[in-house]
Structure 1
Amino acid sequence: MGDEAVLRTRMVNNQLRTFDVTDHRVQDAMLTVPRERFVPADQRVIAYSDEAIAIQRDEVGRPTRTMTYPAVLGRLLQLARVQDEDVVLLVGAGLGYTAAVLGQLASSVIALECDSELAERATANLEQNDVTNVVVVNGPLETGYPSEAPFDIVFIDGAIAVEPTALFDQLKDGGRLVVIEGEGLAGRARLYTKGPSGVSRREAFNAVAGLLPGFTKAPTFVF
């Protein structure tokens, strides 16, 4: 077993299992995908840690996009209950890691990314790792990808500050949407399920993730 495989095993044992990620399909998917190939080169040394990994920074070097922590990602995937035959819309492709993991679990994945540079890098990463059932598309995150809807699952990979109402219409009947709502330490993972009478919401667990573009609250002014 190579060094990276050992680190993946430790990640699953020490981060996922201790955070109640018990689904063996999720564990196996995250044991299979080489996370170090989907992180910036200067951060590969911490690819399997529980540290925040920045995938995009502003002009002064502050992180503007980060990868979801492995334990949180595993728990969200477990919450989504992805099946072999599912068609998934991933909102926030980043550098392609979550898309690759979803590709292990689902039939096909459309990975939506609003930043054209990240979309190009995600596409290259997926191609270099022989992921053939994921397509990366460039477009605004908050509007989803209606031309290929409806989806079995909408997986939002990051935190949002507003309810993703525009994406509910892109779910099949019985479809599921998983997301972290709330900023900072106030984040809550939630599962939305589309049924005959509308969309129901289930509270799942506390979680922290970086905010995604397009889902922030409009500023309010006090006079």
Structure 2
Amino acid sequence: MSDFAARRVMMVDTQVRPSDVTKFPIIDAMLSVERENFVPSERREAAYVDGNLALSVGRVLLEPRTLAKMLDALNLQNDELVLDIGSGYGYSAAIIAHIAQAVVALEADEAMVADAQTVLSDAGADSVIMNAGPLEAGVAEHGPYDVITIQGGVEAVPVAIIDQLKEGGRIAALFMTGALGEVRIGRKIDGQMNWRLAFNASAPVLPGFSKARDFAL
């Protein structure tokens, strides 16, 4: 077993399973996808740390526990189409692709998108379509989606994103209030989002997902 493979097993055994994530497809995906390939080359040695991993200024790869618990709470099915917003180098999309039918991944950083396409191809993640564009706009052309995941903090979920979710579909979002955050699972019922708390987590707020500020003169 390679050093990275051993670290992958340790990540699952010490970060994922103890967080009450037991669904086999999630465990299998996290044991299979080579996380070290989905981070900047200078961060490979840190790929399996217990915590968020910086990808660029203000952008992180969510800690393994957060991603696993998010997917567990969504209860993804193998016939579903997922929009993965803020995919970075494609790790979350590769994990989701092991579980769902297909993934539309969105990243604003075009250099990241180019790298992600290469890494995803090398990983055999053929059911992932990588897109470059503003995160808050989503990818309407491939929607509507059964599930939407947001790979970073939010203060609010833009209407454009909610509009791309099917009736009855689910969104996982990490709502930040200052330094504290909580992952909520939203279900679209009669065109409205109904949110429930899933667990606590933390991540920088993604560009385009801040609340509009009231400016006082």
Residue aligning to 1:100: 94
Contact 2:150 / 2:172 at 8 angstroms: preserved in 1?
A: yes
Distance 1:218 1:195 in 2: 25
Counting matched residue pairs gives: 217
Q: Structure 1's 140 and 9: CA in aligned 2 closer, same or farther, altered over 3 A?
A: same
Deviation at 1:144, TM superposition (A): 1.1
Stretches of 4+ aligned residues off by more than 2 angstroms: 163-166, 195-199, 217-223
Distance 2:177 2:199 in 1: 14
The 5-angstrom pairing of residues 166-205 of structure 1 reads 166-196=160-190, 198-205=192-199
The 5-angstrom pairing of residues 109-148 of structure 1 reads 109-148=103-142
Deviation at 1:123, TM superposition (A): 1.1
Instruction: Give the letter aligned to residue 37 of structure 1.
Output: N
Measured against aligned partners, the alpha-carbon deviations of 1:168-196 in whole angstroms (never above 9, x if no partner) come to 22111221110101145321100011224
Distance 2:182 2:51 in 1: 19
Say whether residues 1:76 and 2:49 are aligned partners.
Answer: no
Say whether residues 1:156 and 2:150 are aligned partners.
Answer: yes
Deviation at 1:2, TM superposition (A): 2.4
Deviation at 1:222, TM superposition (A): 3.6
Q: TM-score, normalised by structure 2?
A: 0.94
Instruction: Give the letter aligned to residue 198 of structure 1.
Output: Q
Q: TM-score, normalised by structure 1?
A: 0.91
Q: Structure 1's 188 and 140: CA in aligned 2 closer, same or farther, altered over 3 A?
A: same
- C-alpha RMSD of matched pairs (Å): 1.5
SS at match of 1:142: helix
Q: Which runs of 5+ in 2 are unaligned?
A: none
Residue aligning to 1:2: 2
Deviation at 1:112, TM superposition (A): 0.8
The 5-angstrom pairing of residues 31-110 of structure 1 reads 31-56=31-56, 63-110=57-104
Q: Structure 1's 104 and 97: CA in aligned 2 closer, same or farther, altered over 3 A?
A: same
Residue aligning to 2:17: 17
Identity among equivalent positions (%) equals 38
Deviation at 1:199, TM superposition (A): 2.4
Q: Which runs of 5+ in 1 are unaligned?
A: 57-62
Instruction: Give the letter aligned to residue 134 of structure 2.
Output: P
